[in-house]
Amino acid sequence: MSTLRTVMQITSVLILALFTTLASAQERPGYGTAVNLAAAKKIAGGALAECQKNSWRVAVAIVDNHGFLIYFEMLDDTQTASGRIAIRKAKAAATYRRPTRAFATAIAKGGPAVMTLPGVIASPGGLPIFVDGKVVGGVGVSGVTGDQDEQCAKAGLAAM
């Protein structure tokens, strides 16, 4: 009888954990009206200013709330791969409504299933763009370390 009770208790805890996980996964901010070109240029300008101040060669991408490219700029002599990476970071941040750092953290904690999600990029530097608590787009920066990319993306959001 005690074995059955233990199994039932463990099952109850697992079910509760599953529902808690599902509920928290659904607690993402809603989508708002997509970022426009003027705002995208301001965000990119702030990000690029931060990168240029530090002599970092980067690419910056701004996407709307559906992940479609609105604005893109790449500084001279930035590594070629950074252009695509910046766009992917921006798309992931907008469509998953979270910083791309969250994917790197999840994988580091042993969550390999995250890697199977389409469009995931597990590198800091992608941030969702919020207006009135709603996701209106994403900014992605690539070209230096993930932390430095994210620093530039944050500077871009601060310029908005």
Fold (CATH) for 31-158: Beta-Lactamase (3.30.450)
Residue of 130, 157, 159, 120 whose CA lies nearest to 141: 157
Check residue 12 and give its pLDDT.
36
Q: Map out the domains of the chain as residue ranges.
A: 1-28, 31-158
pTM for this model (two decimals): 0.82
Residue of 156, 158, 145 whose CA lies nearest to 60: 156
pLDDT in tens, 15-63: 333 333 434 455 788 999 999 999 999 999 999 999 999 999 999 999 9
pLDDT in tens, 122-145: 999 999 999 999 999 999 999 999
Between the two ends of the chain, the Cα-to-Cα distance in Å is 63
